[in-house]
Amino acid sequence: MQKLMTKELQKKLPPLYSQDGKKAETIVYGHWFSCFNGWDFYATEYDEETGDMFGFVFGAVPEMGYFNLAELEEINRKYGLNYFERETHFTPKKVTEVPRIAEAFGYLWEK
């Protein structure tokens, strides 16, 4: 099964709350998705100890909030397949440069 977190990505992800107040300058560091349910997760911050990430979740409705990488990995192990996958070619970029995020949350950064 695919590793949902690499050491390289782990080094890049800043700790929780470190991007508070950055608004349009917030950087998205990783993208995870599910081909089974169409959900997408974009991470801006990460807690190495708990596996908690903060970012943008596109599920039933778009939302900003926390998700847990260990829980996604557990679902993969439970079903024995890559229910959740990491976009391996995702490069860090501002939230305004990720079309799905900019479309759903751009109003937060308007002046």
User: Tell me: the pLDDT tens digits for 73-95?
Assistant: 999 999 998 999 999 999 999 99
Mean pLDDT of 56-81: 94
pLDDT over threshold 90, residue 110:
no
| 66 alpha carbon, distance to own chain's centre | 9
Query: What is the predicted pLDDT for the residue at 1?
Result: 77
**65 three-state secondary structure:** strand
pLDDT band, residue 111 (cuts 50/70/90): low
pLDDT over threshold 80, residue 33:
yes
Bridge-based pairing of strands 40-46 and 52-58 is antiparallel
Of 75, 62, 69, 74, the C-alpha closest to 45 is: 69
CA distance 30 to 33: 10
CA distance 36 to 33: 9
pTM of the full predicted structure?
0.94
Residue with tokens 């903060």: 54
Which runs of consecutive H residues, i.e. helices, occur in the chain? 7-12, 69-79, 99-105
Bridge-based pairing of strands 30-33 and 27-28 is unpaired
Cβ partners under 8 Å of residue 79, min gap 6: none
